[in-house]
Amino acid sequence: MSRDAQSLPDPAAMSFEHALAELEKIVAQMERGDVALEDSIALYQRGAALKAHCETKLKDAQLKVEQIVLGPDGVKTEPAKIG
């Protein structure tokens, strides 16, 4: 990787869009196949953390959308039913 892993922002503090953009760059780097083994391992670990963060953000967004329902009185919000 071009930067020290400790200087990279924590995925949990990143927006979905920023994390996804970084993940896409990592995938492109790894697909080129011109990354040294040690760097590949670090990229894979970073990518896994970014992927998990993006999945969490998407799930949170899905729960918010599911809270919007159409009732007899029109659109209203209600708590999402989890589980």
Q: What is the CATH number for 60?
A: 1.10.287
The reply to whether 82 falls in a domain is no
The reply to whether 9 falls in a domain is yes
pLDDT for res 83: 57
Beta bridge partners, 71, equal 74
pLDDT for res 2: 47
Contact call for residues 46 and 5 (beta carbons, < 8 A): yes
The reply to whether 20 falls in a domain is yes
Contact call for residues 49 and 7 (beta carbons, < 8 A): no
What total number of domains does the chain contain? 1
pLDDT tens over the chain, length 83 residues: 445 556 889 999 999 999 999 999 999 999 999 999 999 999 999 999 999 999 999 999 888 777 776 666 777 776 666 65
The reply to whether 23 falls in a domain is yes
The reply to whether 83 falls in a domain is no
Q: Can you give the residue range of the structural domain that contains 50?
A: 5-77
Contacts with 44 (C-beta within 8 Å, 6 or more apart), sequence order: 30
65: left (phi over 0), alpha (psi -120 to 50) or beta: alpha
